[in-house]
Amino acid sequence: MSERIGHRFADRELLQRALTHRSAGAPHNERLEFLGDALVNLIVAEALYRHWPSADEGALTRARAELVRESALAPIARRLELGDHLTLGPGEMKSGGHRRDSILADALEAVVAAVYLDAGFETCRAVVLPWFEEAIAALPPPHKVGKDAKTRLQEWLQARQKPLPTYALLAESGEEHAKRFHVSCTLSQPPLATEGVAGSRRAAEQIAAEAALERLQARD
């Protein structure tokens, strides 16, 4: 587990607590989750501040919200295989709690806090930042943040009364913890096809949609 996370814990109890859901009894990960939430927000905010040196506060705030929401954190937890190592109560085990976005996202934040308490902020940032680098690189320009590429492409086509795009999974490769998804985005009017590759199907679709938008806008 430590190798997957990217940090070897001096205090293994911290990691165990981070992966213990409250349904399993105390000590559980809720306090660590509280601290980890703040740390993730800080690390992502700093990364965005450096990534977009001219962006205003509003764009930075919207981008951070996109990157740290539950649906963005849960896929990271899955890539780290946190669900396989969670300690859950009987009820959560039976209901598939190890696959639930909310539990996975909370566990990820708790793990971030555990790394911080075990080794300090600099190590924590070095461990956590790579988890978000691909998503940060795939962000649209600051003035377009708030609506993802698929939404903006749909609106562009609807405004011109064109058919909506179709997305298809072309290929899936890699080990379970490091999968790569190759996706196509196809438009019938105007005829256009683009592709995207990323660590999740959703991210790959966003990349393909962004590429389609750029080509359509270049034609305009």
Sign for the CA dihedral angle at 26, 177, 194, 162 comes to negative
Burial of 200 (0-12, 13-18, 19+ CB in 10 A): buried
* Residue 33 annotated as part of some ligand binding site: yes
Helix (H, G, I), strand (E, B) or coil at 19: coil
* Residue 106 annotated as part of some ligand binding site: yes
How distant is the alpha carbon of residue 107 from its chain centre? 14
Give catalytic residue positions.
Answer: 37, 109
Q: If you ran DSSP here, which 8-state letter would residue 53 be given? A: T
How distant is the alpha carbon of residue 83 from its chain centre? 16
**Length of the chain as a residue count:** 220
CB 17 within 8 A of CB 114: yes
Q: Annotated binding residues, as ranges?
A: 33, 106, 109
Q: Annotated binding residues for Mg(2+), as ranges?
A: 33, 106, 109
